[in-house]
Amino acid sequence: MSQRPDWDPGWNVAFHAAFPMFPLPFMVPGWSRTRSQAPLTSSRVVFIGLFSSTVLYIVAFWFIHPPGGVPAYAALIVALGIAMHIALNRVVLRAMVSPDVEAGLVPVFRTAGFIGVGLAMAVELIAIVTTFFGAPLWVIVLGAAISVGGLWRIAPSQWVFRSCDDRLQAQGKAIRMTEAWRRLLTDPPPQAPPAPTP
């Protein structure tokens, strides 16, 4: 596993921003406060919330779901999971590397990621619906595992950025996703034009 670049604030900062009530002993306070509002960190905070919600759904239905159920619903959830991963490959991940200019990579990554979140979370939500028709509780656990796998494939992580770089290189493009995010986080924002004189 390659080392995280210096410009990447890391997932620890995102976790601290998502759950400030749980301070982490290995955080540097001033550094974490400074970088917790970075665009990359704010995107990761969203995904941390999504990952957490998959677990909270299981906990909630653990207390209200009756024992037993119809295990055949698991086949439906598995089929939906396969369809979801195919859609991520053919729609979401392909769209993430569709721009021809570096300035368009990050906005398209975020837009495509939003679509991917809907596809990934739909599996667990449908699994929850099946419990109202007799599916056992572990079908929700199965749906949650599949949803987490889908979220991990589109999360704003260095692994996903490098995967996008490989796809861009395979297309013969010179632009790179990692460089686009680096510029967003490290380059100074463009200066506003001067106000017109009266």
Summarize pLDDT for 144-180 with one digit per residue, the tens. Answer: 999 999 999 999 999 999 999 999 999 999 999 999 9
Mean pLDDT of the chain: 86
pLDDT given for residue 67 in this prediction: 73
Token digits for 151? 């979220």
Residue 170 within a domain: yes
How far is CA 104 from each of CA 98, 158, 170, rounded to the nearest angstrom? 9, 18, 18
Our count of domains for the chain comes to 1
Residue 153 within a domain: yes
Residue 137 within a domain: yes
Residue 10 within a domain: no
pLDDT given for residue 194 in this prediction: 66
pLDDT given for residue 192 in this prediction: 55
Residue 27 within a domain: no
Alpha helix locations (H) across 88-186? Answer: 93-96, 105-131, 137-154, 158-170, 177-186
pTM: 0.83
Q: What is the pLDDT of residues 48-76, one digit of tens each?
A: 999 999 999 999 988 887 777 778 899 99
pLDDT given for residue 99 in this prediction: 95
Domain range for 61: 39-186
In the predicted structure, residue 16 carries a pLDDT above the cut 80? yes
DSSP assigned state of 19 = -
Distance from C-alpha of 37 to C-alpha of 98, rounded to nearest angstrom: 27
pLDDT given for residue 30 in this prediction: 45
Give per-residue burial for 106-141: e unless 16+ CB within 10 Å, then b: bebbeebbeebbebbbbbbebbbebbeeebbbebbb
Residue 111 within a domain: yes
Residue 166 within a domain: yes
pLDDT band at 29 (very low <50, low <70, confident <90, very high): very low
Residue 128 within a domain: yes
Token digits for 96? 């993430």
pLDDT given for residue 38 in this prediction: 82
